[in-house]
Amino acid sequence: MINRFLDIKDYMLKKQVLNVLSLSQYKPTLDKTKALAIKYINDCNTFCYGYGNIDNIIGIIVLEKQDLYYEILSIAVDKSHQQQGIGSKLIHNAIIKRNIKRLIAETDDDAVEFYKKNNFNIINLGVKYNNTVRYKCELIDK
């Protein structure tokens, strides 16, 4: 099957989607990941997209619509498919699908380079929870 960008809100509780979603979480458990998926499903301002096919989602991005921008709540790619540009495709396709002019994410040292590579402006927020340095990442369409 051909991989493509899909709306997966109705599939967030599928085991394989939960497995990918868990990769975007700090110390994930199945219960914690399911609760997060249910929160995303029930929020009308949250949009869930995947990359792959309906039987094999290999990447996900979850966005929340704010008043003047969208925020990335979760983004993850299956470990066996990382470093193949799928995360970048998720961001690009989400921007097109939702006609996003301003996109924001918060991340840590592990992912800040990914956002830099995707032309986000980076602001160091300093040490926040779990003694971790956090970064605000912002992409503005001009």
CATH no. for residue 43?
3.40.630.30
Report the alpha-carbon distance of residue 28 to residue 127 in Å, rounded.
Answer: 21
Q: What is the CA radius of gyration of the chain?
A: 14
Q: Provide the residue-wise pLDDT of the chain in tens; the chain has 142 residues.
A: 688 999 999 999 999 999 999 999 988 999 999 999 999 999 999 999 999 998 899 999 999 999 999 999 999 999 999 999 999 999 999 999 999 999 999 999 889 999 999 999 999 998 887 788 899 999 998 6
Structural domains of the chain, count: 1
CA dihedral 32, 111, 6, 63 (to 10 degrees): 70
Range of the domain at 112: 4-140
Three-state DSSP class for 24?
A: coil
Q: Token pair of 128, please?
A: 């926040």
Residue type, 34: K
Q: And the tokens for 118?
A: 């995707």
Residue 88 in tokens: 């970048």
d(CA 5, CA 60): 9
- Tally the C-alpha atoms within 13 A of residue 139's C-alpha that lie toward its C-beta: 21
User: Which residues are paired to 106 by β-bridges?
Assistant: 136
Check residue 1 and give its pLDDT: 67
> Residue 59: phi, psi to the nearest 5?
-155, 150
